[in-house]
């Protein structure tokens, strides 16, 4: 069934306005985050995929124009760039031969920008159940059907980005999934703070 909004309805705002983006960019630069892949964040994404049972997991930092997957897990244990993930999802190859490709994604793709602006976890067991989210480009272009993400809010109160998992099939994440993604976000936030303090 296709959703048809009433003629008088305002168009759905698919990507939220992000007034905190300039401050976030400055904070990310001061932390040295969001510019390059990091093995420790790839390892964190691997563990996130393992504990949630999701095929794809990301540590995502967001600026004014784009998203950057500084930590990335794809099926088979690889860390392909997001373009490789797109190809793998379309071709069913699960990231084969996709290593070393860009990890960037446009800000209007996906659901992490909503998590960052809302500053709250978001669980979409089937994105097609929600008109606001079903029209996102990742649904038709990549085949994403379920999403779960939580914000990384640091000690300054800045939402730096997210930890998230996605699947090409609907998933019943449930309350356990929500608690897991929130707990993993809190854990990574603590690690980033320890790194800033020189502890790691």
Domain 21-196 architecture: 2-Layer Sandwich (3.30)
- What pLDDT shows up at residue 199? 55
Each residue's pLDDT, cut to its tens digit, for the chain (200 residues) gives: 444 444 444 445 567 889 999 999 999 999 999 989 999 999 999 999 999 999 999 999 998 889 999 999 998 765 655 555 555 444 443 333 333 445 889 898 999 999 999 999 999 999 999 888 888 888 888 889 999 999 999 999 999 999 999 999 999 999 999 999 999 999 999 999 999 898 55
- The burial class, CB within 10 Å (0-12 / 13-18 / 19+), for 147 is buried
Strand-by-strand arrangement of the 66-73 sheet: 104-106, 66-73, 56-62, 159-167, 146-153, 122-124
CB 38 within 8 A of CB 44: no
CB 79 within 8 A of CB 42: yes
Q: Where are the domains of the chain?
A: 21-196
The DSSP annotation for 127-147 comes to GGG-HHHHTSHHHHHT---EE
User: Which of 141, 150, 147, 134 has its CA nearest to residue 12?
Assistant: 134
Q: What are phi and psi of 21, to 5 degrees?
A: -55, -45
Give the model confidence (pLDDT) of 160-175 as tens digits.
999 999 999 999 999 9
Rounded-to-10 torsion of CA 134, 132, 189, 24 = 120
Measure the N-to-C terminal CA separation of the chain; round to a whole number of Å: 51
Cα dihedral sign, 94-120-62-143: positive
Half-sphere exposure at residue 17, Cβ-oriented, CA atoms within 13 angstroms: 2
In degrees, rounded to 5, the angle at the alpha carbon of residue 128 between the alpha carbons of residues 137 and 122 is: 80
Sign of dihedral through CA atoms 183, 168, 119, 108?
Answer: positive
């Amino acid at each position: 069934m296709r959703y048809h909004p009433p003629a008088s309805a305002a168009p759905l705002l698919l990507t939220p306005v992000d007034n905190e983006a300039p401050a976030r960019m400055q904070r990310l630069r001061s932390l040295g985050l969001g510019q390059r892949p990091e093995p420790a964040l790839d390892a964190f994404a691997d563990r996130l995929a393992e504990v949630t049972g999701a095929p794809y997991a990301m540590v995502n930092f967001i600026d004014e124009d784009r998203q950057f997957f500084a930590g990335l897990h794809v099926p088979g244990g690889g860390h392909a760039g997001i373009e490789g993930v797109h190809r793998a999802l379309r071709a069913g190859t699960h990231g084969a031969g996709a290593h070393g490709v860009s990890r960037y994604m446009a800000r209007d793709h996906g659901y992490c920008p909503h998590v960052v602006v809302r500053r709250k976890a978001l669980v979409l067991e089937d994105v097609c159940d929600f008109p606001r989210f079903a029209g996102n480009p990742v649904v038709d272009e990549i085949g994403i059907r379920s999403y779960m993400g939580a914000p990384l809010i640091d000690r300054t109160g800045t939402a730096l980005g997210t930890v998230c998992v996605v699947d090409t099939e609907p998933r019943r994440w449930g309350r356990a999934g929500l608690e897991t993604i929130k707990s993993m976000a809190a854990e990574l936030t603590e690690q980033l703070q320890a790194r800033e303090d020189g502890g790691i």
